[in-house]
Structure 1
């Protein structure tokens, strides 16, 4: 199986806080305040899904504002979109599915790539294409029991990030099963939500994860 060197910035970001903020619906006008709130709360990984309003503008603003953090795009569906994200300053490509063209283009451009998978077959194919980590999506379908079974057969160093329906209350079971982190969607941010509200929710996630990892 192909092994691809994991970008150091991604490794460092996961070590800092293994939570990906998924800002679906974010507008460029909201991006500076929401981004600053998340960074202040400890987040190092932020994605703006490409089905958000003017997503490349938001990515460009966040990347310029926080050059030391890993900013990028979610819902990346084509190699052309990978190139668009890189041109905007994005450094991480996240997809809801596995498309070998997306993975290979991201790797070719030196971007971190985290495709979505739901089965062992997809997981191994994604890793063989060069994926740096795997998004287990939708996590509502991939229970902790399923994650544990996948963890038993995947390479031990593979970072597995459940996404979909993750809340502070269900992280413990996934961590026990072998999850390395999580993607946080509407439980963290909803379109139009104020920065102060996002800060409160973000801190709740961070505090809960910190308590779980110290047990």
Structure 2
């Protein structure tokens, strides 16, 4: 599993913000992924929160080769397998379970599982995972909580998601145990509905320019 973690980090390639996308219209998947990639955010997470999410992943993965398309809100092994079959390059889950770890162990697709409690973090560590999703970040204690985890869990790195915005993103990116953040502000619902890909590209370019530390 540790080898797959390095594979995932290589896919993200230093990208500071991973767009977290909930796409209602499958026809928006391709132009949205293209706009984000043009802005410098090639890796995107399409969440399984809509009926057409798997088709969105399939289309974006097939028709936007410059994008690195992952699947989010994966809750069980069946969803993991379905998302991998349609072209997901990485899988993101809000939590961690034995079944998800088993699905990840038999797949070439790397898993970014959610972990916010010490017990969950230790479970992930025992499975060989040292890069985790911290969700819901703001509601779970925010940057201050993550900072407190850095000492007892040295070597564990996080991607905080949930409540991360333009206003607080630097609080997270400034932490030594944060690799990147997940956020929806780079593709807000109103701009997606308006199909304003130019505005979304501009937001992506601004986010891509953020720096760690």
- The TM-score bracket by the shorter chain reads 0.7 to 0.9
The alpha-carbon deviation at position 58 of structure 1 amounts to 0.7
Q: Which runs of 5+ in 2 are unaligned?
A: none
Is it true that 1:133 corresponds to 2:131 in the alignment? yes
Question: Corresponding residue for 1:14?
Answer: 12
Residues 26 and 18 of structure 1: is their aligned pair in 2 closer, same or farther, counting only changes over 3 Å?
farther
Paired residue total: 208
Question: Corresponding residue for 1:118?
Answer: 116
Is it true that 1:147 corresponds to 2:146 in the alignment? yes
Q: TM-score, normalised by structure 2?
A: 0.87
Residues 119 and 21 of structure 1: is their aligned pair in 2 closer, same or farther, counting only changes over 3 Å?
same
The alpha-carbon deviation at position 130 of structure 1 amounts to 4.3
Equivalent pair of 1:71/1:90 in contact (CA under 8 Å): yes
Question: How do residues 17-96 of structure 1 correspond to structure 2 at under 5 angstroms?
Answer: 17-67=15-65, 69-96=67-94
Question: Corresponding residue for 2:207?
Answer: 205
Is it true that 1:189 corresponds to 2:191 in the alignment? no
Residue-by-residue CA offset, 1:102-133 (whole Å, 9 max, x unaligned): 13202311111111121121111123234462
Q: TM-score, normalised by structure 1?
A: 0.86
Rounded to whole Å, the distance in 2 between the matches of 1:103 and 1:12 is 20
The alpha-carbon deviation at position 39 of structure 1 amounts to 0.7
Q: Which runs of 5+ in 1 are unaligned?
A: none
Rounded to whole Å, the distance in 1 between the matches of 2:173 and 2:82 is 34
